[in-house]
Amino acid sequence: MLTIFLLILISGVFTYSSAEQGFCSAPSSLNTVSESKPLYSKVYDSIQSPLDLQNLPGFTRSVYKRDHALISPESHVYGPLPDWINTLGAYVISPEIGSHFVMYLAKLKENSRSGLPLRDVERFIFVLHGAVAVTGAHGVSHVLKVDSYAYFPPNFEHSIESDAPAIIVVFERRYAQLPNHIPEPLVNSTDKQPLLETPGEVFELRKLLPSSLAYDFNIHIMDFQPGEFLNVKEVHYNQHGLLLLEGEGIYRLGDSWYPVQAGDVIWMAPFVPQWYAALGKTPTRYLLYKDVNRSPL
Ligand SMILES: *[C@@H]1O[C@H](CO)[C@@H](O)[C@H](O)[C@H]1NC(C)=O
């Protein structure tokens, strides 16, 4: 398993350098519309309203209900993360809310380093700002920039380090084993993932993890042009943790309709009716945790 990870890391060095060129010379539609700010910077620099509502005393768009929550940036509370060095984290979703996973934002400072997840816990990271060096058990390291991600299977020794400020979003879950299916560590980037079929829907879908049975969750990247919306009014057993990376729109959760914008986090419990419409002048992109491949029983 480690050997495979090393091969992935080594091959990644080459694919990454070519991807960087592609990134500059052929920007996606997402980039052409937005201003000159760095990709996803609204997640951590998200005060856009002319009235600056977020700064009104006592005002928050955050909501916490039985089957969903909206946690907007002015409500994120950062503190030390267990075993991490020079890093502050904000847990935005945790089992206290009813989830079987945690989702947190981690702000790495100079000379920062991650701690390991708990025993039997898998970890997924996605870079929002800056760059981090990911090192596997044998010391081979790989630099992940904005829009890149890594997956670490349970009990896989690794570190995430940075010598300059960086921000990542992290998902962790106690791995649900299936006999004869072993998840592999991986590193990759969103722009390398193919667009997938979405029958009956107009949004664009990419999946960041393989769909094979070894993986008990996936991370979807979903893109909407302004005015596009979900066709299916979904109600399902899966749970979701969502980070709005770009754009703004209306999220319906149960009987409530929420104006949302980049930087917002949403918790969706199993069976909460859910629906999204992208509005505003710029495309929406969001990142979505979804548990898959396991029987609910
Ligand atoms: C990244 O993902 C693409 C598409 O899934 C795949 O073809 C490629 O081999 C992956 N790169 C690495 C370094 O794993």
pLDDT digits (tens, 9 = 90+) for 158-194: 999 999 999 999 999 999 999 999 999 999 999 999 9
Name the residue among 131, 178, 192 with its Cα closest to residue 8: 192
> What pLDDT does residue 56 have?
80
CB count, 10 Å around CB of 279? 19
Calculate ∠ Cα 210-151-283, nearest 5°.
70
Q: Express as a percent the part of the chain with pLDDT over 90.
A: 78
Name the residue among 234, 236, 241 with its Cα closest to residue 268: 241
The predicted model gives 114-124 an average pLDDT of 98
Name the residue among 283, 123, 273, 115 with its Cα closest to residue 202: 283
Nearest CA to ligand 1 atom 11: 188
Residue 199 C-alpha to ligand 1 middle, in angstroms? 24
- Cα separation, 106 vs 272, in Å, equals 28
Q: Is the pLDDT of residue 29 over 50?
A: no
**Cα dihedral 54, 56, 57, 62 sign:** negative
Ligand 1: residue of 4, 9, 15, 190 to mutate (most ligand atoms within 8 A of CB) is 15
Listed in sequence order, the residues at least 6 apart from 284 whose beta carbon sits closer than 8 Å to its beta carbon are 222, 223, 224, 226, 244, 246, 247, 248, 249, 276, 278
Q: Is the pLDDT of residue 17 over 70?
A: no
Q: Is the pLDDT of residue 142 over 60?
A: yes
Q: How confident is the model at residue 156 (pLDDT cuts 50, 70, 90)?
A: very high
Q: Is the pLDDT of residue 48 over 70?
A: no
Listed in sequence order, the residues at least 6 apart from 126 whose beta carbon sits closer than 8 Å to its beta carbon are 147, 148, 149, 168, 169, 208, 219, 287
Residue 178 C-alpha to ligand 1 middle, in angstroms? 24
CA 157 to centroid of chain Cα atoms: 21
- Ligand 1 atom nearest residue 193's Cα: 4
Listed in sequence order, the residues at least 6 apart from 36 whose beta carbon sits closer than 8 Å to its beta carbon are none
Residue 207 C-alpha to ligand 1 middle, in angstroms? 12
Q: How confident is the model at residue 138 (pLDDT cuts 50, 70, 90)?
A: confident
Q: How confident is the model at residue 49 (pLDDT cuts 50, 70, 90)?
A: low
> What pLDDT does residue 140 have?
81
pLDDT, tens digit, 9 for 90 and up, residues 242-278: 999 999 999 999 999 999 999 999 999 999 999 999 9
**Cα dihedral 12, 14, 19, 21 sign:** positive
> What pLDDT does residue 5 have?
46
- Ligand 1 atom nearest residue 189's Cα: 1
Q: Is the pLDDT of residue 85 over 60?
A: yes
- Ligand 1 atom nearest residue 188's Cα: 1
